[in-house]
Amino acid sequence: MKLRLVTLLLAAASTLLAACPPSSGSGSAGAQAGAAPTGYPRQPYPQAYPTSYPTQPQPYPQPYPQPYPTATQPHPQPQPQPQPQPQPPPATQRPMLAPLIGSAAMQQEVRSILAELIAVLGASNQQRVRGIPLVFDPSLEVNAYAGCDEKGAPFLAGTEGLLQAVDAVAQTKATDEMFGTQTYEAYCNAVIPSILKSDKASPGLPAGLIPQNLGPDARRWSRARELFQDIIAFTFGHELAHHYLGHTGCANGQPIVPGPNPAMLGNLLNNVLPFTNQPNEAASDAAGTINGLDAGIARRPNYRWSERGGLLLLEFFARLERQAGVNPLSPIVFLQSHPNPQIRIPVVRDVVARNWYAQHPQVNPQAN
Q: What is the pLDDT of residues 84-139, one digit of tens each?
A: 444 444 456 788 999 999 999 999 999 999 999 999 999 999 999 999 999 999 99
Residues 6+ apart with CB under 8 A from 318: 340, 341, 342, 345
Residue 326's pLDDT is 57
Q: Measure the CA–CA gap between 260 and 269, rounded to whole angstroms.
A: 12
Q: What is the mean pLDDT of the chain?
A: 79
Check whether 30 has a pLDDT greater than 70: no
Provide the pLDDT for residue 217.
Answer: 97
Interval 203-212 mean pLDDT: 96
Q: What is the pLDDT of residue 37?
A: 43
Which residue did the predictor score with more confidence, 305 or 253?
305
- Amino acid letter at 33? A
Q: What is the pLDDT of residues 147-204, one digit of tens each?
A: 888 888 899 999 999 999 999 999 999 999 999 999 999 999 999 999 988 889 999 9
The pLDDT tens digits of the residues spanning 311-345 come to 999 999 999 988 887 554 454 555 556 788 899 99
pTM equals 0.72
The pLDDT-based confidence of 4 (bands split at 50, 70, 90) is low
Cα angle 105, 106, 109 (rounded to 5 degrees) comes to 90
- CA distance linking residue 226 with residue 223, whole number of Å: 5
Residue count of the chain, please give it: 368
